[in-house]
Structure 1
């Protein structure tokens, strides 16, 4: 928390200094006398999800700096307006209204958990503020005012579960966070397991503040699965992996997770606790493509203390650049005109590869990768190009129903 707050204060001071020195910045980049375009950010910089939120804000700031260095948008500089939501849903709601009503930002990039997204999405719908959710999630959001750039289960979980079962065995035990992400992801895990001849022995859900997994580990030991499938979320749930190893279970039953690594578990845990865990995401820091190497280099040069650059950070960077491409194409920051431009099939070549927005769902077609932890780092084993959000496409068609604003629980 100390690091996150220090970084937040540093960034706040830097932002204020930039505004005080605005004439110099504007002259440097040839902006003229135009006011800056305000970009809103709602991300946790403290609390249990801070390790995830800090790199997301750093990535957003980097993308803004890149656009400003290239002349801004529409001849205007960009300014980041960020609030630390402190892993608190009430603060998400409070700051969302502040960004929309008081700050009057052109777009908001924010939210980590699905609970945070659903707390703020109605506010941005009501006040007509364009919203980008750059986080992997359970799928099903169908709302013309939001673009979801992270992966959904059809893009990653559908790859992870059968791969893990082929490697470990057909009987699985599911652990998941007790809110909509964990509950729905558990259903997807069950579906993909059964689709490939597997059996789910039990499904256990845990509130985000749970840190004692001893009784659950005893239950798993008694059930004797071939595989544990984990959708545990946040820093508190990292305790499971430590307690699993302490119970002598590491190496006995393999683990595949849809969330492991998002709070830098491979590095924060001992190698004996993290070795061999499988994961599938839309991005890994360890990718060696030129675009990924350049992005990681720039971000770590600016923030040497950054813990890990996950899909959430990369998708935030890519999501901002997609929005910027939409503004360029629209020739305005007018919300509906930017939405129409984004619906034209706009793509951005980012650190994860080419990301393309799908008109019907407002989700992203993007690459997916499967990896295994080796020596406290991810080793990428498989790549899956141009994965479509087929789960959300099954329930969402904004071409036919442009006024839809629901999150559907997909029939699994």
Structure 2
């Protein structure tokens, strides 16, 4: 267990409260963000962009970092991966930022990552993903398959459901995650009877519904992504399959699907994330209060992706304070010392060797109030697979992504 130092806990508390303003003559620290605020992936990017602005305000309201304000430079990638490469270069070379945070899909992460590595600009990817990235220059704050897919499979198996059908988005996240589902299902004693990869622009699922009716799985494991794929859940319910098959998902809720869909279409779908808006605790109460103050009481839902962003900014700021500098190597060393705090989702801390997070995981079921009911949790879950293949302390020059084939 990584010990959270008292001074770090105090610093984090300061970020959630008000403190004296930053001196007016202090030179700002330039920081950068690039997300999908428009286009088909803005169902994820909007909340993440809102979390970015709120995190920067929170840090600046508490005195900034090293007594200096943060100046945020933001770009909207418009759901176009080529723009991620362009804007990452601009942030590193023209804007000279101390850190880049951004990317929604895994494809966008892989557009940013080589640019950040090449330009020696620290990079945070704040989204759940298919796992396996091992890169000295990269820190990831989202949940990974050993923390998410494995518990979902175990939940289904323990509830007597052993026959799985996988539906996945047709890009690297979907393909790699589908492999993880198959591995975890097989290990748990179940079977995968079918897998379909769905392009992001598809919104007609008639043929998929027919396949499900023929295969009769106990579980439909959804790795669907984006606004178009929301149609699957509506068509699944309309076909009357909800009473015969259990949907579990590693992505449902990140795009506020439970808000868009009717209770009949969404209720009962089971998911696993570190954060749900309904979680208790003083840190989440304070966070929700600040979010509501900034964005209003009618905000659809605060997503897990938004909190992964919040965590990323605060962990970086705490590391800079500990390092006493924005120098990349010094900040990396500070992060690797096990920086952590009690955030909205509970206790989070940086896992030194993998640059992922140790964090709590909550299993929840979509309810009839367009939200989630938590039905189980696991505390301080480590990125198990990443630990087995990635040790950036021993191998600091490593910069690659491990996939399920490496786990065999």
- TM-score calculated relative to the size of structure 2: 0.92
- 1:409 corresponds, among 391, 403, 407, to 403
Deviation at 1:32, TM superposition (A): 4.3
Query: Which position in structure 2 is the counterpart of 1:79?
Result: 71
- After superposition, the CA RMSD in angstroms is 1.2
Counterpart of 1:193 in 2: which secondary structure? Answer: helix
Match of 1:222 among 214, 220, 223: 214
> How many residue pairs are counted as aligned between the two chains?
385
CA contact (8 A) 1:169 1:227 kept: yes
Q: Over residues 41-65 of structure 1, what are the superposed CA-to-partner deviations in whole Å (9 max), with x where a residue is unaligned?
A: 1111111111211111111211111
Matched residue, 1:321? 314
What is the alpha-carbon distance in structure 1 between the residues aligned to residue 68 and residue 154 of structure 2?
A: 49
Q: CA deviation at 1:180?
A: 1.3
Structure 1 range deviating more: 329-338 or 163-172:
163-172
CA shift, 1:341, in A, is 0.8
Residue pair 1:274, 1:373 contacting (<8 A) in 2 also: yes
Say whether 1:348 aligns with 2:341. Answer: yes
1:245-394 map, 5 Å: 245-304=237-296, 305-375=298-368, 376-394=370-388
Distance 2:306 2:69 in 1: 23
Contact 2:22 2:69 in 1 (8 A): no
Any residues of structure 2 matched to 1:172-191 within 5 Å, and which? 172-191=164-183
Of stretches 241-250 and 313-322 in structure 1, the one that deviates more from structure 2 is 241-250
2:324 and 2:180 mapped to 1: Cα distance? Answer: 41
CA shift at 1:264, angstroms? 0.5
> Distance between the aligned counterparts of 1:166 and 1:338, measured in 2?
43
- How far the C-alpha of 1:34 sits from its partner, in A, is 2.4
| Cα distance, 1:229 vs structure 2 | 0.6
Residue of structure 1 in register with 2:13 after alignment? none
Larger deviation, residues 241-250 vs 259-268: 241-250
Q: Distance in 2 between matches of 1:66 and 1:408?
A: 35
1: CA distance, partners of 2:98 / 2:205: 44
Q: 1:335 Cα shift? A: 0.8
Describe the SS at the equivalent of 1:250: coil
- TM-score if structure 1 supplies the norm length? 0.91
Contact 2:92 2:119 in 1 (8 A): yes
Extract unaligned runs of 5+ from structure 2: 1-19
Residues 22 and 64 of structure 2 are in contact (CA less than 8 Å); yes or no, is this contact kept in structure 1?
no
- Give the SS at the match of 2:373: strand
Whole-Å separation in 1 of the counterparts to 2:50 and 2:66:
24
Of residues 83, 101, 109, the one that matches 2:93 is 101
Mapped contact 1:172–1:199 kept (Cα < 8 A):
yes
Task: Select 1:44's aligned residue among 36, 39, 43.
Answer: 36
Deviations 1:226-283 (A, max 9, x none): 1111100111111100111122212221100000011101111011100100000111
Is the contact made by 1:156 and 1:368 (CA closer than 8 Å) also made in structure 2? yes
Contact 1:213 1:240 in 2 (8 A): yes
Where structure 1 has 5 or more consecutive residues not aligned to the other structure, the ranges are 1-27
* Secondary structure in structure 2 of the residue aligned to 1:192: helix
Contact 1:164 1:278 in 2 (8 A): no
Contact persistence 2:22–2:60 (CA under 8 A): no
**1:138-185 deviation per Cα after TM superposition (whole angstroms, max 9, x unaligned):** 111010101011110111111111212332521111100111111111
